Chain A
Amino acid sequence: MSLDERITPEQAATQVGTASGENKEYSVIGKSVGRIDGRAKVTGQAKYTGDLKFPGMLYGKILTSPHAHARILSIDTSEAEKLPGVKAVITHKDVPSLKYGISPARWDENIFCIDKVLFVGDKVAAVAAVDEETVYKALKLIKVEYEVLPAVLDPLKAMDEGQAQLHEDYPRNLNTEIHQSFGDVDKALAEAYHVRTDYFVGQRAYQSPIEPHSAISVWEDDKLTVYSSTQSPHYFQYYIARQFGLPMGKVRVLKTHIGGGFGGKLEPTGLEFAGAVLAKLTGRPVKMFYDRHEMFAHNRGRHRQYMKLSTGVDQNGKILGVHADFVMDGGAYTSLGVASAYYAGALLTILYDFDNYKFDMYRVYTNLPACGAQRGHGHPQPRFAFESHLDNIAKDLGIDPIELRLRNARKANTVTPNDFKVESCALTEAIEKARDISNWKQKRSHRPQGRGIGIGLGAFVSGAGYPIYRTNLPHASAVIKVNEDGSSATLYTGAVDIGQGSDTILCQMAAEAMGYSFAKMQIISADTEAAPHDFGAYASRQTLMSGWAVKEAGEEIKAQLLNTAAGIMGYAVEELDCRDERIFVKDQPEISKSFAEVAKEFFVTQGPLVGKGSYTPPKLGGKFKGAAVGTSPAYSFAAQVTEVEVDEETGEVKIVEAWDVHDCGKVINPALLHAQVHGAFYMGMGEAVWEEVKFDDQGRILNSNLAEYRLPTALDMPKFHSELVDSYEPNAPWGVKEVGEGATTPTMGSISNAIFDAIGVRISSLPMSYEKVWRALKEKRKQQTT
Chain B
Amino acid sequence: MYLPDFDYYAPDSVAEACSLLAEHGPKAKILAGGTDLLHKMKHGELAPEVVVSLNNLNALKEIRYEQGRGLIIGARATQNDLATSPVIQEKYRSISEAAHHMANNQIRHIGTVGGNIVNAVPSADLPPILMALGALIQLVGPTGKRTMLLEEFFLGVHQTRIQGDEILTEIIIPEQGFTGSTYIRFGLRRSGALAVASTAVSVTMDGEICRGLRIALGAAAPVPMRARAAEAVLLNRKITDELLEEAGVQAAQESRPRNSIRGSEEYRRDLIRVLTRRALKKAITEGHV
The chain A residues found within 8 Å of chain B, CB to CB, are 132-133, 136, 291, 649-650, 652, 690, 694, 702-703, 707-708, 710, 712-716, 769-771, 774-775, 778
In contact, B1 and A707 (Cβ under 8 angstroms): no
Overall SS of chain B's interface:
loop
Pick the contact of B1: A291, A652, A770, A775 (CB < 8 A).
A291
Residues from chain A with a CB closer than 8 A to the CB of B270 are 649, 774, 778
Q: How far is the CA of A774 from the CA of B263 in the complex (A)?
A: 11
Task: Provide the bound-state CA to CA distance between A293 and B271, in Å.
Answer: 31
- Picked from B190, B261, B271, the residue with its CB within 8 Å of the CB of A703 is B261
**Given A694-B261, A774-B270: A716 in contact with B2 (beta carbons within 8 A):** no
A716-B189 CB under 8 A given contacts A136-B1, A136-B2:
yes
Within 8 Å CB of A716, what residues of B?
Answer: 189-191
Residues of A within 8 A of B188 (CB): 690, 710, 769-770
Q: Which residues of B contact A715 (CB under 8 A)?
A: 189-191
Chain B residues contacting A690 (CB-CB under 8 Å) are: 188-189
CA distance A714 to B1 in the complex (A): 27
Q: Contact between A774 and B189 (Cβ–Cβ < 8 Å)?
A: no
A771 engages B263 (CB within 8 Å): yes
Q: How large is the interface on B (under 10, 10 to 19, 20 to 34, 35 or more residues)?
A: 10 to 19
In the bound complex, CA of A271 to CA of B271 (Å): 45
> How far, in whole Å, are A650 and B190 apart by their CA atoms in the complex?
14
* Residues of chain A within 8 A of B209, CB atoms compared: none
Residues of B within 8 A of A132 (CB): 2
A–B Cβ pairs within 8 angstroms, 20 of them: A132-B2, A133-B2, A291-B1, A690-B188, A690-B189, A694-B261, A702-B261, A707-B192, A707-B193, A710-B188, A710-B189, A712-B189, A713-B190, A715-B189, A715-B190, A716-B189, A716-B191, A770-B188, A774-B270, A778-B270
Residue of chain B at shortest CB distance from A649: B274
B101–chain A nearest beta-carbon distance, Å: 10
Contacts of B264 in A (CB 8 A): 771
- Nearest A residue to B188 by beta-carbon distance? A710
Q: Which residues of chain A are within 8 angstroms of B186 by Cβ–Cβ distance?
A: 650, 652
| Assembled-state Cα–Cα distance A769/B264 (Å) | 12
Residues of chain A contacted by B271 (CB below 8 angstroms): 650
User: Is the CB of B267 closer than 8 A to any CB of chain A?
Assistant: yes
With A and B bound together, what is the CA distance between A707 and B123 in angstroms? 14
Bound together, the chains give a CA A650 to CA B270 distance in angstroms of 8
Name B residues whose Cβ lies closer than 8 Å to a Cβ of A. Answer: 1-2, 104, 186, 188-194, 261-264, 267, 270-271, 274
Residue pair B189, A713 in contact (C-beta under 8 Å): yes
Residues on A with beta carbons closer than 8 Å to the beta carbon of B194: 707
Point out the residues of chain A lying under 8 angstroms from B192, CB to CB.
707, 713
Known: A649-B274, A650-B186, A769-B188. 14 other contacts (CB 8 A): A133-B2, A650-B271, A690-B189, A708-B261, A708-B262, A710-B189, A710-B193, A713-B104, A713-B189, A713-B190, A715-B191, A716-B191, A771-B267, A778-B270
The complex places the Cα of A694 from the Cα of B271 at a distance, in Å, of 23
In the complex, chain A residues whose CB is within 8 Å of the CB of B267 = 771, 774-775
In the docked arrangement, what's the CA distance between A775 and B189, Å? 18
Complex: how many Å from CA A652 to CA B188? 8
| Chain A residues within an 8 Å CB radius of B262 | 708
- Find chain B residues with CB under 8 A from A710 CB: 188-189, 193
**Measured CA separation A771–B186 after assembly (Å):** 12
The CA-CA distance from A713 to B264 in the complex, in Å, is: 23
CA distance A710 to B187 in the complex (A): 11
- Nearest B residue to A769, CB-CB: B188
Chain B residues within 8 Å of A136, by CB: 1-2
Chain B hits for A291, CB < 8 A: 1
- Chain A positions within 8 Å of B190 at CB level: 713, 715-716
Q: What are the residues of chain B within 8 A of A771 when measuring CB–CB?
A: 263-264, 267
Q: Kindly state the separation between the CA atoms of A650 and B278 in the bound complex, as whole angstroms.
A: 12
Distance, CA A775 to CA B262, complexed state (A)? 15
Residue in B104, B188, B262 whose Cβ sees the most chain A Cβ within 10 Å: B188
- Sort A-B residue pairs by CB-CB distance and give the 4 closest, nearest first: A715-B190, A713-B191, A649-B274, A715-B191
Chain B residues within an 8 Å CB radius of A770: 188
Chain A residues contacting B261 (CB-CB under 8 Å) are: 694, 702-703, 708
Instruction: State A703–B193 Cα separation when bound (angstroms).
Output: 13
- A337–B276 alpha-carbon span in the complex (Å): 48
User: Residue among A707, A770, A775 with the most chain B CB within 10 A?
Assistant: A770
